[in-house]
Amino acid sequence: MKRGSYRARAVVLNSLDYGESDRILTFYTLEQGKLSGIAKGARRSRKRFVGNLDPLSHIDLMFFHNGSTDFVRVEDAKLVDAFAPLKEDIERLADACYLLELTSEMTREGIVLPAVYHTLVAFLKMLEASPNEELLRFFEIRLLSICGYLPHLGGCVACRQHAGEERLYFSSERGGLVCRRCSSGIMGLIPVSPGTAGLLSMAARLEAGKLERLKPGAAFLEESERFLYDFIKFQLGKELKTRRFMAKLKSAWA
């Protein structure tokens, strides 16, 4: 990025207090992809930044880049949408924060993927309007697809036979489905029904607004959550903090 001032539509992924009055921020923008920056005096400001730099904020961002570092200086931020309803319920807030953390971890600065921005904003709006666990699974598979990590769900990754009606398994190490005949000796296999695999394969290709057409079966939520998150952990090499918190919430409500 050349030296100069820029304007971008952005979602605040993370915000960290720094020093006495500053904030270190991570954004995903439509125009420049993922950005990290500092907002000088943000915690003292009563005009420019009040409530506009909190995680989940959808903003019209103005920033300056000096042309030599990856860090930008935030000059102004106008709020487009605070997604306030998501902050009124702890479960919906946890789900929304998971989308933010997953986006931050799956993307890299310097790689501009407008579809990531559009997908994140669309799913936050859907989560705000009608929260359900299916949305999280659909977001995961869409983000994996956009970022180039889509697992092989069209058949066995080993023998390339198309998925039929038989029971399948998912291998994070192999990057996709494995049939019963090819499963011998492979560790960490997770059972997956052909219906779940087929539905996620369709979800990976559909735009966010068309996902309501998909009708998951009874086994979908349990199967898809288990193998998709196992695959995400394998790709990232770690567990996400929001997932640990979501697991604690589930245990508390059980």
* Spatial separation of the C-alpha atoms in residues 243 and 97, rounded to whole Å: 9
Instruction: Tell whether 213 and 174 lie within a shared domain.
Output: yes
Residue 176 is assigned to a structural domain of this protein: yes
Give Cα separations from 15 to 54, 60, 122 (angstroms): 6, 16, 21
The answer on 248 and 130 residing in a single domain is yes
Q: Which residues pair with 18 in a beta bridge?
A: 22
Number of domains in the chain: 2
Answer whether 0.75 is exceeded by the pTM.
yes
Q: Are residues 61 and 126 in the same domain?
A: no
Per-residue pLDDT of the chain (254 residues; tens, 9 = 90+): 788 999 999 999 999 988 888 889 999 999 999 999 999 877 776 666 777 899 999 999 999 998 877 889 999 999 999 999 999 989 999 999 999 999 999 999 989 999 999 999 999 999 999 878 899 999 999 999 999 999 999 889 998 877 666 779 999 999 999 998 899 989 999 999 988 999 999 999 988 888 878 888 778 989 999 999 999 999 999 999 999 888 888 777 66
Q: Give me the domain span that covers residue 67.
A: 4-82
Task: Verify that 142 and 235 share a domain, yes or no.
Answer: yes
* Domain assignment of residue 98, yes or no: no
User: Would you say residue 126 lies in a domain?
Assistant: yes
Q: Is residue 212 part of a domain?
A: yes
What are the residues facing 176 on neighbouring strands? 152, 171
Domain match, 194 and 236 both: yes
**Of 24, 52, 82, the domain-final residue:** 82
Residue 191 located in a structural domain: yes
